[in-house]
Structure 1
Amino acid sequence: MKKIAILVAPILVLLSFITYSSNSVLDFNTSLNDSTEIAPKSFYGNEAKLIAQILDTYHYKKIKLNDSLSSVILTDYIETLDNNKSYFLKSDIEKFEKYRTKVDDYLEAGNVNFAYEIYNVFKERFDNRMTFVLDSLVGMDFDYTVDEYYNTDRSKGAWPTTEKELDELWRKMVKSQALSLKLNGKDNEGIKETIKKRYERFSKAAQQHRSEDVFEVFMNAVAEAFDPHTNYFSPRTSDRFKQNMSLSLEGIGARLQTETDFTKVVQILPGGPAEKSDLLHENDRITGVAQGEDGEMVDVIGWRIDDVVQLIKGPKGTTVRLEILPAETGVNGPTQVITLVRDKIKLEDMQAKAEIIPLKKNGKEYKIGVITLPSFYMDFEAYQQGDPNYTSTTRDVKRLVKELESKGIDGLMMDLRNNGGGSLAEAIDLTGLFIKNGPVVQVRTSTNKVEVGEDEDPEIIYNGPMAVMINRFSASASEIFAAAIQDYHRGVVIGEPTFGKGTVQSVIDLGRYLQVPEGEEVGQLKLTLQKFYRVTGSSTQHLGVSPDVNLPSAFDADEFGESASKSALPWDQINSTTFNVSQEVSPQLVLRLNDQYSRRLETSPELKALVEDTKELKLNLAKTQISLNEEKRRKEIEEAEKREAKRVSLSGTSIKKESEGNTDDVNIEDQYLKEGVIILTQMISEIG
């Protein structure tokens, strides 16, 4: 394989000449006189200045930190603090306008005081809201016969103009939470006590925010103005990032993020308790966390993500209970309580796994080998130490394919759904197992230099019928592999369009270039330096990989993909590189497979149910308006429970379908995988 370097060395050399002293004095007056306000640490100005210089000089995008970008940063910072427009007043936002074109100037001068001034206004508004809830709303007897609604997503609405508007917004918010508790069986006193404890904890957690937290939020607004994958990590976040990279984090195996008032599951990590239990899924919302089998359920609605994560994390072998709103039933559906046993997520849990799925078609038995690939991994430390048994994606898949072939498989399915990427080198090497040789991916640097990652090994370990399964959460290295298999016409790609991440990042330790007081630490900057391109010259950015056969999808690109971010780098194209297309998959074959799939859409009860489930999920994901009328909410919950019971009943049944003399008989609960296996079997039949 031709290696592709991540070009960090030039940055390290140049930055070695840039040193900062923590003793420099800023020429800006600060208004942070209140002892309860949070102020920046003495070296934060210098750290911000260093970050701004790195972004300005080395980011792939090659844009300058100017007045225009300053405006973007200010907007993003305000929205991060108050993403649902529930705290700031319109008058606050108008006062912040004086900073709109000044952020770049402040950063260049090493001044972050204004960011803390904005935060302290937010803190004052937050404290006022907590006082209002605890003094005025906790003891209120709500009327649940009134026909009114609460919108959980106010991000696109207007800022409240008066305290009275905010009071009404929070009345509806707390009423919605109280009604949810009532529908879950709590009496009036229990509801009041739960709401009271919720906001007391919420307020207490917010009082623990420190200067480091504010700096991280602001510097992320700066970094992410360049692109969504450029991020600032505080020292505490850096430690967590290193834990994740070492795959030794103890917990439930889920990646979370804040969405409006909720903590949303955005990724289930392969090999973790969440995946193994199949109780928690992407887009589920977590509303409560409890320790052990009988610990008190702590409401986490409105909590910041770090505090929720701290509750969920814990030692291996301990139990955590989560109260969730499943994605399938949405914010209007019933909550569920699930129990998970924490575990350590190890490298071996992330490794490729293989199984054989038997399928009967037209009286003929087929064996389909399925390799599930959670990520593109490699044990770099063992490799560098010369360990001949080091673990890698390519080595594992090569072994698994040989094992499957020894059992007489008729076709091979590579399942890359939910594979968020990993090692670029492994993506290239893995592709090389299925093509003779040639380019796999092109990478362009910020200086417009294009390098080609090639498979230089002519060996092919498997030359039979092949398919690749992808979904909206297949990203980065997954997209490189799927794109190469598709561009070489080596296999059929089945599923949903992928995420569309076509950029490469590297992490820079800022502590190497900044002197800080003893006992203090600085963070890290994850910086976008390069961009991926297919062998055809098309970028995977935004577009991702479009499958040859599209299965139903509930996830739109502008909500669940690279295109969801306003600052994402654009799609573009470079020259194609020379490569030899194989003959395994012709355009005519793809047309016939799509025609057969279209006919199945009309005749297969299971496939029809999958389409309906997908539509339902899409609608539920889009719903943000909640009725505050008890009778309406009960009806909505009953309908959601009926739909879910019907879905579970159907998915757990193996259906034999008779159509045009064909019989497909395969018992797989994973409906998407089942459809993929059927399509691959049809491909095998087509090519003889």
Structure 2
Amino acid sequence: RFMNAFAHTLDPHSSYLSPRNSEEYRIQMSLSYFGIGASLQTDGDFVKIAGIIPGGPAAAAGSLKPEDRITGVAQGSDGEIVDVIGWRLDDVVELIRGPADSVVRLEIIPANSLPGSPKTFIDLTRGEVKLEEQAAKAEITKIQRDGREWSIGVIDVPSFYRDYRALSSGDKDYKSTTKDVKRLIAELEEEGIDGLVIDLRGNGGGHLTEATALSGLFIDNGPVVQLRNANGRISRLDDPDPVPRVAYSGPMAVLVDRYSASASEIFSAAIQDYARGVVVGQQTFGKGTVQNLYSLDQYLRSEDDKGFGQLTLTIGKYYRVTGESTQHRGVDPDIALPSHINAELIGESARDTALPWDTVQTTRFRAGKPLEGMIESLTVSYAERAKDDPNFQYQMDMIRAAEEISAKKSLTLNMQTRRDEHEQELQRRLDRENERRMALGIEPVENLDDIDEDEFPDILLDQAAGIVTDLATMREMAGQPAKTAQVRP
């Protein structure tokens, strides 16, 4: 805590990562680790199996089940069992993880077993576990418009990951956002899509190289972002692949929200500045600074061989090709969509030690035909659809209700009054839900608990897909003219 408190006096994104947190960061960036392939959670004094990760050692063995409770862990088949009842979750995780091909022995109370039932022992050989559920994924959403069905591809990009350990070891099949998205685009185009949405909601960033590489899948060679270091030196970062390799040239939109930050903002800004597509959603986070990781182990080494962790230090700021920083201000969408996220409380501008917004000189880049007139038409069409969309109106009602609750400056201390207010709010939510259902011709529900979350639509994604459908319609009506270009100084 002291190390982080000191680092945060520099700026919000300089920090200290302990050895354990350094490993967690590496896992997030590579989407892989060596272990048994099970997700864990606490259950009272126990750590239990929350789920089995497909493709991992536990899934292959088939002996470990969800809801099993772990009472002990041993290293090797003949190792001494360490009682882990009452332990912290991350301490148990550290015991279970280990080198590839090593054996870990678990002492288990099987799920749904009666009190006093005998414990069982399971030996598992650790292996590489790939976190595919955290990787980019794709789907196709169908949009009905004027008697025609349009297919809009959606690629959800949760982070900008790259497995540098595999890359540096010469593994050509290393995991990365750009490689996954390129593969997903090819799969979507095989199925025949009319447009594409890149969903960056909640994407807090990742590797800068992945942001520039992903931009290269949609933009011909050219600068993607500018970087100014602490000495004031400005460098231009292009797509790292020197060979033009645009993977998709059709209509597209980038969907963002207030939690879209850093590398997400680099990509969104590039798509916007090159007039390659439209950015829709909410103003992004506003993190326009760049950090480097400095391992403390290069200066000294701890006796227990765990190391001292690493420092994440801000080394500069990045700027759009237009010269504007995304720091503090983020990326403003071409078409704003409603959001329940309060931009006054969330974002770089809400942080006291955040660096200010500024500009540098514009770099030369070749942009597509300006989209201002098209964006105006798209906005009008979106607004007309939204007025008659029960799901959209439901979303607006929920946002207004949340704002009203947040605006309250006082609360009653009378318990019965509080209970009555809570019941009234639940009834209002139920009324809004049934209003939406009746408008859509869906059977109403008697209780909010009867609602299946999986059946609830992704309203903002539906709106983004509708906007891309408009883009595809415009391109079709125009006969898909060749792209024009302009050179900006």
Asked whether the 8 Å contact 1:379–1:392 carries over to 2, the reply is: yes
- Written as runs of structure 1 = structure 2, the 5 A alignment for 1:639-650 is 639-646=424-431, 648-649=433-434
Q: Which structure is higher in helix share? A: 1
Work out which of the residue numbers 416, 422, 434 in structure 2 matches 1:637: 422
- Written as runs of structure 1 = structure 2, the 5 A alignment for 1:17-416 is 217-235=1-19, 237-238=21-22, 240-242=24-26, 244-245=28-29, 247=31, 248=33, 346-416=130-200
Judged with a 3 Å threshold, the aligned counterparts in structure 2 of structure 1 residues 511 and 394 are, in CA distance, closer, same or farther, namely closer
SS of match in other structure, 1:483: helix
Partner Cα distance (1:498, 1:383) in 2: 31
Q: Cα deviations across residues 351-380 of structure 1 (Å, max 9, x unaligned)?
A: 211111111111111111111111111222
CA drift at 1:646: 4.3
Cross-structure match for 2:219: 435
Cross-structure match for 2:60: none
Asked whether the 8 Å contact 1:507–1:526 carries over to 2, the reply is: yes
Higher relative contact order by CA 8 Å / sep ≥ 6: 1 or 2? 1
Is 1:604 matched with 2:392? Answer: no
CA drift at 1:399: 1.6
SS of match in other structure, 2:160: coil
Scaled by the length of structure 1, the TM-score of the pair is 0.52
Cross-structure match for 2:459: 671
Q: Cα deviations across residues 604-662 of structure 1 (Å, max 9, x unaligned)?
A: 33222111212233444566754321222112221232244345556778949xxxxxx
Cross-structure match for 2:238: 454
CA drift at 1:224: 0.6
SS of match in other structure, 1:581: strand
Partner Cα distance (2:363, 2:40) in 1: 40
Kindly provide the amino acid, as one letter, of the partner of residue 384 in structure 2: R
Asked whether the 8 Å contact 2:29–2:161 carries over to 1, the reply is: no
Partner Cα distance (2:110, 2:236) in 1: 48
Cross-structure match for 1:337: none
Q: Cα deviations across residues 427-464 of structure 1 (Å, max 9, x unaligned)?
A: 11111111121111111110111111113332322111
Q: Cα deviations across residues 372-430 of structure 1 (Å, max 9, x unaligned)?
A: 11111122222222223222222221121122112221111111111111121111111
Q: Cα deviations across residues 90-147 of structure 1 (Å, max 9, x unaligned)?
A: xxxxxxxxxxxxxxxxxxxxxxxxxxxxxxxxxxxxxxxxxxxxxxxxxxxxxxxxxx
Partner Cα distance (1:366, 1:634) in 2: 48
SS of match in other structure, 2:365: coil
Cross-structure match for 2:82: none
SS of match in other structure, 2:367: coil
Partner Cα distance (1:461, 1:454) in 2: 17
Is 1:552 matched with 2:300? Answer: no
Kindly provide the amino acid, as one letter, of the partner of residue 205 in structure 2: G
Asked whether the 8 Å contact 1:436–1:457 carries over to 2, the reply is: no
**C-alpha RMSD over aligned residues:** 3.7
Cross-structure match for 1:417: 201
SS of match in other structure, 2:368: coil
Judged with a 3 Å threshold, the aligned counterparts in structure 2 of structure 1 residues 388 and 293 are, in CA distance, closer, same or farther, namely closer
SS of match in other structure, 2:457: coil
Q: Cα deviations across residues 268-290 of structure 1 (Å, max 9, x unaligned)?
A: xxxx97xxxxxxxxxxxxxxxxx
Is 1:495 matched with 2:281? Answer: yes
Cross-structure match for 2:259: 473
Cross-structure match for 2:376: 591
Asked whether the 8 Å contact 1:654–1:668 carries over to 2, the reply is: no
Asked whether the 8 Å contact 2:29–2:163 carries over to 1, the reply is: no
Kindly provide the amino acid, as one letter, of the partner of residue 669 in structure 1: P
Question: If you compute each CA radius of gyration, which structure gives the higher value, 1 or 2?
Answer: 1
Scaled by the length of structure 2, the TM-score of the pair is 0.71
Judged with a 3 Å threshold, the aligned counterparts in structure 2 of structure 1 residues 514 and 429 are, in CA distance, closer, same or farther, namely closer
Cross-structure match for 1:576: 362
Judged with a 3 Å threshold, the aligned counterparts in structure 2 of structure 1 residues 620 and 239 are, in CA distance, closer, same or farther, namely farther
Kindly provide the amino acid, as one letter, of the partner of residue 597 in structure 1: Y
Judged with a 3 Å threshold, the aligned counterparts in structure 2 of structure 1 residues 590 and 581 are, in CA distance, closer, same or farther, namely same
Partner Cα distance (2:399, 2:288) in 1: 27
SS of match in other structure, 1:366: strand
Cross-structure match for 2:471: 683
Partner Cα distance (1:617, 1:365) in 2: 35
Kindly provide the amino acid, as one letter, of the partner of residue 413 in structure 2: L
Cross-structure match for 1:335: none
Asked whether the 8 Å contact 2:204–2:261 carries over to 1, the reply is: yes
Cross-structure match for 2:229: 445
CA drift at 1:506: 1.7
SS of match in other structure, 1:435: coil
Work out which of the residue numbers 389, 400, 404 in structure 2 matches 1:615: 400
CA drift at 1:484: 0.3
Kindly provide the amino acid, as one letter, of the partner of residue 223 in structure 2: P
**Structure 1 gap segments, 5+ residues each:** 1-216, 255-271, 274-290, 295-306, 321-343, 657-666
Cross-structure match for 1:121: none
Q: Once structures 1 and 2 are overlaid, which stretch shifts more, 502-511 or 413-422? A: 502-511
